Amino acid sequence: MSRISVSTRTAFILACVVTIILIAGSAILSRIVFKAATSSATVYFNPSAPVVKTGEVTDVDVLTNFGAAAELVGAQLSVKYDPQLLSYVDVVPATNWQVIKATPESGQLEVIELPISQTSQSLRAGQPVALATLRFRAVAAGQSTLSFDPASTIIATTDSSLGHSIDNSLASVQDAQVSTGTLSLADQAANAQVRLDAASQTASGSVASQRIAGDQALLAPETALILVSLQQPARLTVRFGPTKALSNTVSYATLAAQAAVKINGLKPGERYYYQVVAGTSDGASQTLGQLKSFQLPLVSTQTTVDHASLTIFPAQTDVATNAYALFYDADGKIITGLEPKFSADNSAVGFGSLSEQTGLYQAPLNATATSKAIVSAKLTLGDQELASASVLIDPNLNTAPSPTVLSAVTIDQKTINLLLALVGALLVFGLAFLKLSRAR
Amino acid sequence: MRLKVILAAIVVVVVVVLAVIWQSSRSAPTALPSVIELTNLPDHYCPTTAAVMVTDLVVTKPQVIFDSSEPVVSCRQIELKNLLGLGNTSRFVLVKLPMAVAFRLQVDSATGHYDSAPSLGDVNGDNIIDTVDEQQVNSALLTADAALIKKDDIDQDGQVSVLDLGLTRINRRAGVDRPDGKSWSLQ
8-state DSSP, A150: T
Q: Does B161 touch chain A (CB under 8 A)?
A: yes
Q: Does A271 touch chain B (CB under 8 A)?
A: no
Q: Which numeric CATH code is attached to A41-204? A: 2.60.40.680
Q: Does B183 touch chain A (CB under 8 A)?
A: no
Residue in chain B lying closest to A418 (CA) = B19
Residue in chain B lying closest to A6 (CA) = B2
Name every chain A residue with its beta carbon within 8 A of the beta carbon of B141.
100-101, 112
CATH fold match for the domains A41-204 and A212-295: yes
Q: Does B166 touch chain A (CB under 8 A)?
A: yes
pLDDT of residue B26: 56
Residue in chain B lying closest to A422 (CA) = B16
Digitized pLDDT (tens) for each residue of chain A, 440 residues in all: 455 566 666 766 777 677 777 777 766 655 544 433 456 787 888 887 788 899 999 999 998 887 677 889 999 999 999 999 999 999 999 999 999 999 998 899 999 999 997 778 887 766 788 999 999 999 998 888 888 888 889 999 987 665 578 888 887 777 777 888 765 444 444 444 333 333 333 333 334 567 777 778 899 998 888 888 887 888 888 888 888 888 777 777 677 888 888 887 788 999 999 988 888 776 667 788 888 889 999 999 988 899 999 998 888 888 788 899 999 998 889 999 899 999 988 888 888 888 888 899 988 888 887 777 788 889 999 888 888 888 888 877 765 444 333 333 445 566 777 788 888 878 877 777 777 777 65
- Does B162 contact A76 at a Cβ distance shorter than 8 Å? yes
Q: Which of B8, B141, B170 sits opposite A164 (nearest CB)?
A: B170
Question: For A304-383, where are the E strands, in sequence order?
Answer: 307-313, 316-317, 320-328, 341-344, 349-351, 355-357, 360-367, 373-381
- Does B170 contact A73 at a Cβ distance shorter than 8 Å? yes
CA angle A260, A264, A265 (to 5 degrees): 170
Name every chain B residue with its beta carbon within 8 A of the beta carbon of A27.
20
- Does B15 contact A433 at a Cβ distance shorter than 8 Å? no
Name every chain B residue with its beta carbon within 8 A of the beta carbon of A64.
none
Residue in chain B lying closest to A433 (CA) = B5
In terms of CATH, what superfamily is A307-399? Answer: Immunoglobulins (2.60.40.10)
CATH architecture classification, A212-295: Sandwich (2.60)
Mutation site for B-interface testing, chosen from A166, A169, A416 by largest number of B Cβ within 10 Å: A166
Domain ranges of chain A: 8-36+415-439, 41-204, 212-295, 307-399
Residue A428 exposed, middle or buried by CB count within 10 Å (0-12, 13-18, 19+): middle
Using the Cα atoms of residue B24, residue B29, residue B31 and residue B37 in order, give the sign of their dihedral.
negative
**Residue B175 distance to chain A (closest CA, Å):** 14
Cα distance between residue A145 and residue A154, in whole Å: 20
pLDDT of residue A417: 74
Per-10-residue mean pLDDT, chain B, length 187: 72 76 60 84 93 89 90 93 77 94 92 91 95 96 95 95 95 93 79
| pTM more than 0.90 | no
